[in-house]
Amino acid sequence: MTTYYTKDHEYVRVEGDTGIVGITDYAQSQLGDVVFVELPEVGKAVKAGGEAAVVESVKAASDVYAPVSGEVVAVNDGLPDSPATINEDPEGQGWFMKIRLADKGELAGLMDEAAYKAMIGA
Partner 1 sequence: MARGARMVPFAGYSMPVQYKDGILTEHLWTRAHAGLFDVSHMGQCFVHSDSWEKTAAALEALVPADILNLKPGQQRYSQLLGADGGILDDLMITRSAYDGHEGWAYLVVNAGCKDADYTHIAAHLPAGVSLRVEADLALIALQGPEAVDVIAGLVPGIRTVPFMTYHAAQLDGVWLHISRSGYTGEDGVEISIPAKDVAAFCDRLLADPRVRPIGLGARDSLRLEAGLCLYGHDIDTTTSPIEADLKWSIQKRRREQGGFPGAERIRRELAAGPARLRVGLLPEGRQPAREGAEIMADGRRIGVVTSGGFGPSVNGPVAMGYVETAFAAAGTSVTLIVRGKELPARIAPMPFVPHRYFR
Which residues sit at the interface with partner 1, rule CB under 8 A?
32-33, 35-36, 38, 54, 56-59, 61, 80, 83
Least distance from partner 1 to the Cβ atom of residue 28, Å = 11
3-state secondary structure of 116: helix
CB-nearer residue toward partner 1: 17 or 36: 36
| Listed residue (93, 92, 116, 100) closest to 66, CA to CA | 100
Rounded least distance, CB 43 to partner 1, Å: 19
114 φ/ψ angles, rounded to the nearest 5 degrees:
-65, -45
Q: For partner 1, which is the closer residue by CB, 78 or 80? A: 80
When the beta carbons of 60 and 115 are compared against partner 1, the nearer one is 60
Residue 51: which H helix or E strand, with range? strand 51-57
**CB of residue 54 to partner 1, shortest distance in Å:** 7
Residues forming beta bridges with residue 53, ordered by sequence position: 64
Residue of 36, 42, 9 whose CA lies nearest to 23: 9
Query: Of 6 and 28, which has the nearer Cβ to partner 1?
Result: 28
